[in-house]
Amino acid sequence: MSKLRQAIPGVNAAPTTDLPVLHPIDREKSAGPDAMVVSRWLASMPAWTPLALLGVILLWPMTAVAQNFSYTDAVETLIRWLPFLVGSGFLFNVLISFFAMLIGTVLGVCLGLGQISLLKPVRTFAKITTQVFRNSPWLVLLYIVLLALPFEIVIGSLIIPVPDWMKAVIGLSLPIMANISEIVRGAIISVPTAQWEASESLAFSRTQTLWRIILPQCFKRMIPPWMNWYAILTMATPLCSLLGVEELITLSRQAMEGSDNHPELLVPFYGFALLIFFAYCYPIARLTVRLERRFMVKL
C-alpha cells in the first residue's frame, strides 16, 4: 500500500520536468527554412504592381533637370530601343535560364538520387558536391567557369567554339543542380516509411520501389520548389552581363551609350528591365504558391 500511495510526478503530484509534456507542433519551426520565400514575396504583391512600376518609370524623367534632353526625348529613346532590348536582350535571358534549368535539373536529379544511395562512396560524393555548389556564390561560380573553360575545343581538325553565353549557362546550372538535388532528396525522405516497408513486403527491389512507388509520389511535391528556383534563376541571369554576355542589361548599357549616354536614361532603361523581369516572374510566383497549396500534405 505504501508503494500505491507514493507520489507520482504528473499523476498525483506536481511534475518535476516538462519533458513528458507534448507541446503543440509549431509548423514554422518544424518545417525549417522556407525554400519558397522568393515566390511567396512576389505572389504577395498586388496585381497592379507592374502598372505602378511603369508609372514610376514614365514619370521619373519629368523630375530630371536637363537642358538639352527632355522627358519626351527620354521616352522616345526608350521606345525606339524596345524591340532591340526585348528581342535580342530579354529573350536571351529567358533562353539562358531555360538551358541552365534544364541542365541543372537533369544533373540535380542524379545527384539527389546519389544522396540516398546505399553505396557510401556515391553517397558521400553526392553530399559533398551538393553542399559545395549550394553554398557557393553564384557570381564566383560564373567567374570560375569563365576562366576554367577554353574559348574553343580542338578535336583533330574540328574546332568547336565555346561562346560566353554557353559558359554562363554552365555556371548558372551548377547552383541549380545542387538545390534541385536537395529538393529530390527532401521529397524522397518525405514519403512515409510505410511505403518502403510495404514494397519490401511485396518483394520489390530498391530500384522498383524508387521508380514505381516513391518517385511518382514525389513528383508533385517537387514541382512548386522547382518553379521557385526557376524564378530565382531567371532573376539571376543579369549576372551574366559581368561576363560580357549580350543580354538585357548589357544591351541596355549599349543602347544608352548609343544615345549619347544621357544620365536621364538610367532610370527609364533599368526601370524597364526591372518591369519586364517582374512581369515574367510574377505569374510564375503566383502559380507556384497555388500549386503548393494544392499539393501540400494535408495533416
pTM: 0.74
Give the model's pLDDT for residue 97. Answer: 92
Q: Where are the domains of the chain?
A: 41-60+67-294
Burial status of residue 279 (CB atoms within 10 A of its CB: 0-12, 13-18, 19 or more) = middle
Distance separating alpha carbons of residues 192 and 1, to the nearest angstrom: 46
Residue 272 has pLDDT above 50, yes or no: yes
Rounded Cα gap, residues 269 and 255, in angstroms: 9
The per-residue pLDDT for range 159-215, each reduced to its tens digit, is: 888 888 888 999 999 999 999 999 999 888 888 888 888 888 888 888 888 888 888
What's the chain's average pLDDT? Answer: 79
How many angstroms separate the CA atoms of 175 and 134, rounded? 5
Pick from 96, 35, 44, 32: nearest CA to 229 = 35
pLDDT score recorded for residue 16: 62
Q: How confident is the model at residue 67 (pLDDT cuts 50, 70, 90)?
A: very low
Q: Give the pLDDT score at 176.
A: 94
Interstrand relation of 158-161 and 152-155 (parallel, antiparallel or unpaired): antiparallel
List of residues 6+ apart from 31 with CB closer than 8 A: none
The amino acid that residue 89 corresponds to is G
Locate 238 and state its grid cell: 543579369
Residues 6+ apart with CB under 8 A from 49: 278, 282
For residues 43 and 37, give the distance between their C-alpha atoms in angstroms, rounded to a whole number.
10
Q: Is 250:244 a contact under the CB 8 Å cutoff?
A: yes
Q: What are phi and psi of 160, to 5 degrees?
A: -110, 110
Look up residue 199 and give its three cell numbers: 514494397
Mean pLDDT along residues 50-57: 64
**pLDDT tens per residue, range 100-142:** 999 999 999 999 999 988 899 999 999 999 999 999 999 999 9
Closest CA to 172 of 212, 137, 209: 137
Architecture per CATH, domain 41-60+67-294, reads as Orthogonal Bundle (1.10)
Looking at residue 186, its pLDDT comes to 87
Residue 219 — φ and ψ, nearest 5°? -60, -50
Q: Confidence class of residue 31 from pLDDT cuts 50, 70 and 90? A: very low
Whose CA is closest to 254, among 241, 243, 267, 264? 241
